[in-house]
C-alpha cells in the first residue's frame, strides 16, 4: 500500500500545473490517452498473457461489478481522481494561486490521521460487500489513504510544502508509524483476531507518517539528476505497466527450481524481473507509437 500512497501523492503534486497549462478539455483527453491506453493494453494483452482470460475477466463486471485491471487499476483510479478534481476546479469562479504557507501543525496532521479511521472501516465494508476489484478499483479498503494522499499532493503543490519539509516532520512521521506499528503488534498479541482490524484502524498513521519521512529523506539525500536517473524516470511508467510480463516469465522458468526459502525465491525472481521490465520499457519508450504514451 505504501508504494501507491507515494505515487498518488506525486501524481497529484503535478496535476494542478498540468490542468492549468492544458485546460480541462485537453487535460481530460490527455489522461484518457496516457492512462487509458495502458489500461486497455493490460486488459487485452498483459492479462491474457499471464493467464487471466480477457473474456472471463470482462464478463465478471456484468456478473459482480468486478474487473481485474492488473497493475493498471492505479491508472484507472488516477483517471477518475483527475476528472473529479478538474470538475471541482472548473466550478470555482476564480483559479487558485500558489501560496507560500507553512505545513500544518503536528496536532492537525495527527487529527487528520484519526479522521481517516471511520472512513477506513466504511470503505473496507464496501470492499467486503462489493468485491476486491469493484468497478476496477482494487482494494477499496485502502482508498481513504489514497484519496487523502491525492488531496495532500494537490495542497503540497499549492502551498509549496515540499520545500518546507524538515527533519522535524520526518521525525514526527517516524513516530506516527512506530505508534501504529507498536499498537498493531500489541493488539495482535492480545488477540490475533485484532490484527486485520488494527491494520485498518491505523492505516492513516502509516500512510501519512511514512510519507513525510520518505519524502524528506529523498528530498534531502537523493534530489540529484544524471543520465542514469533520467533514463530510469523516463522508463519507470512503462516498466510498471509491463512488469507482470517479466514477473510471469521469470517465475515460469524458475518454477521447477523453486525453493522452500521465500527470500531466495524473492531475489531469484525479483531481480531479473526488474531488469527485464526496465529493458522492455526502454524498447517501448523508443517505439514511435508508444513514446508519447509512456
Q: Write b or e for each residue in 57-71: b if 16 or more Cβ atoms lie within 10 A of its Cβ, otherwise e.
A: beeeeeeeebbbbbb
Task: Supply the pLDDT for residue 11.
Answer: 94
Task: Supply the pLDDT for residue 93.
Answer: 52
CB atoms within 10 A of CB 255: 10
Task: Supply the pLDDT for residue 156.
Answer: 93
Alpha helix positions (H), the chain: 2-22, 24-31, 37-41, 47-49, 54-63, 73-90, 106-130, 143-159, 167-190, 194-201, 203-221, 227-241, 243-254, 262-286
Angle formed by the axes of helices 167-190 and 203-221, nearest 10°: 150
The rounded distance, in Å, linking the Cα atoms of 163 and 233 is 21
Pick from 3, 24, 153: nearest CA to 84: 24
CB atoms within 10 A of CB 98: 12
Q: Which residue has the cell 521490465?
A: 277
Which phi and psi angles does 184 have, rounded to 5°?
Answer: -65, -45
- DSSP-derived 3-state class of residue 134: strand
pTM score? 0.90
**Helices and strands (H and E) in the chain: how many:** 14, 0
Task: Supply the pLDDT for residue 8.
Answer: 95
Query: What cell does 284 get?
Result: 517501448
Pick from 234, 196, 210: nearest CA to 120: 196
Classify the C-alpha dihedral 134-135-136-141 as positive or negative.
negative
The rounded distance, in Å, linking the Cα atoms of 190 and 209 is 25
pLDDT tens per residue, the chain (294 residues)?
Answer: 678 998 999 999 999 999 989 999 999 999 999 999 999 999 999 988 887 776 777 777 778 889 999 999 999 999 999 999 999 887 665 556 667 778 889 899 999 999 998 998 899 899 999 999 999 999 998 999 999 999 999 999 999 999 899 999 999 999 999 988 888 888 777 776 666 666 777 888 988 999 999 999 999 988 888 899 899 999 999 999 999 999 999 999 998 888 888 889 899 999 999 999 999 999 999 998 888 888
Residues 6+ positions from 73 with CB-CB distance below 8 Å: 133, 136, 137, 138
Beta-bridge partner residues of 134: 66
Give yes or no for a contact between 81 and 28, defined as CB atoms under 8 angstroms apart: no
Amino acid at each position: 500500500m505504501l508504494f501507491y500512497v507515494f505515487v498518488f501523492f506525486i501524481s497529484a503534486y503535478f496535476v494542478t500545473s498540468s490542468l492549468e497549462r492544458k485546460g480541462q478539455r485537453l487535460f481530460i483527453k490527455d489522461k484518457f490517452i496516457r492512462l487509458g491506453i495502458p489500461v486497455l493494453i493490460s486488459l487485452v494483452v498483459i492479462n491474457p498473457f499471464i493467464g487471466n482470460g480477457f473474456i472471463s475477466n470482462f464478463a465478471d463486471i456484468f456478473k459482480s461489478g468486478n474487473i481485474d485491471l492488473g497493475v493498471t487499476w492505479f491508472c484507472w483510479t488516477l483517471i477518475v481522481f483527475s476528472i473529479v478534481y478538474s470538475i471541482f476546479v472548473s466550478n470555482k469562479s476564480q483559479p487558485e494561486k500558489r501560496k507560500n504557507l507553512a505545513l500544518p501543525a503536528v496536532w492537525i496532521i495527527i487529527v487528520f490521521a484519526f479522521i481517516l479511521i471511520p472512513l477506513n472501516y466504511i470503505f473496507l465494508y464496501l470492499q467486503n460487500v462489493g468485491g476486491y476489484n469493484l468497478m476496477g478499483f482494487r482494494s477499496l479498503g485502502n482508498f481513504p489513504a489514497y484519496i487523502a494522499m491525492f488531496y495532500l499532493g494537490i495542497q503540497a503543490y499549492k502551498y509549496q510544502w515540499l520545500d518546507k519539509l524538515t527533519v522535524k516532520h520526518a521525525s514526527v512521521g517516524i513516530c506516527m508509524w512506530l505508534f501504529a506499528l507498536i499498537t498493531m503488534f500489541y493488539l495482535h498479541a492480545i488477540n490475533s483476531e485484532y490484527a486485520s482490524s488494527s491494520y485498518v484502524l491505523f492505516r492513516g498513521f502509516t500512510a501519512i507518517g511514512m510519507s513525510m519521512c520518505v519524502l524528506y529523506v529523498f528530498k534531502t539525500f537523493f534530489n540529484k539528476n544524471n543520465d542514469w536517473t533520467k533514463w530510469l524516470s523516463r522508463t519507470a511508467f512503462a516498466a510498471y505497466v509491463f512488469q507482470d510480463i517479466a514477473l510471469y516469465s521469470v517465475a515460469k522458468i524458475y518454477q521447477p527450481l523453486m525453493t522452500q526459502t521465500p527470500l531466495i525465491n524473492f531475489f531469484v525472481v525479483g531481480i531479473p524481473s526488474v531488469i527485464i521490465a526496465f529493458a522492455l520499457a526502454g524498447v517501448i519508450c523508443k517505439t514511435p507509437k508508444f513514446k508519447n504514451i509512456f
